[in-house]
């Protein structure tokens, strides 16, 4: 009977440890971003890419002579 109690105690301790690990993981995980901030980041990324493409196009035309 004691071996059964020991085994159940071991299982209980293991489950408590797994629960602690899961809580730590949830604490470490980032919270979702604000939708406005995410949209603003996307817009800035697109505008930056268009700026780079524009610069490349200007340099290409300049090197091509026209």
Enter the pTM of the model.
0.47
27 shares its domain with 12: yes
60 shares its domain with 41: yes
64 shares its domain with 54: yes
Distance (Å, whole) CA 6 – CA 29? 35
User: What is the mean pLDDT, run by run of 10 residues, along the chain of 66 residues?
Assistant: 82 91 87 86 95 92 83
- CB-based burial label for 46 (10 Å; 0-12, 13-18, 19+): exposed
| Confidence (pLDDT) at 19 | 92
27 shares its domain with 52: no
38 shares its domain with 65: yes
Which residue range(s) make up the domain with 58? 33-66
Residue 26 Rama label (left phi>0; alpha psi -120 to 50; beta): alpha
Count of the separate structural domains present in the chain: 2
27 shares its domain with 48: no
39 shares its domain with 27: no
């Amino acid at each position: 009977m004691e071996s059964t109690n020991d085994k159940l105690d071991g299982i209980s301790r293991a489950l408590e440890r797994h629960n602690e690990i899961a809580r730590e993981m949830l604490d470490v995980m980032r919270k979702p971003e604000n939708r406005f901030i995410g949209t603003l980041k996307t817009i800035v990324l697109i505008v930056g890419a268009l700026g780079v493409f524009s610069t490349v196009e200007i340099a290409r035309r300049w090197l091509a002579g026209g």
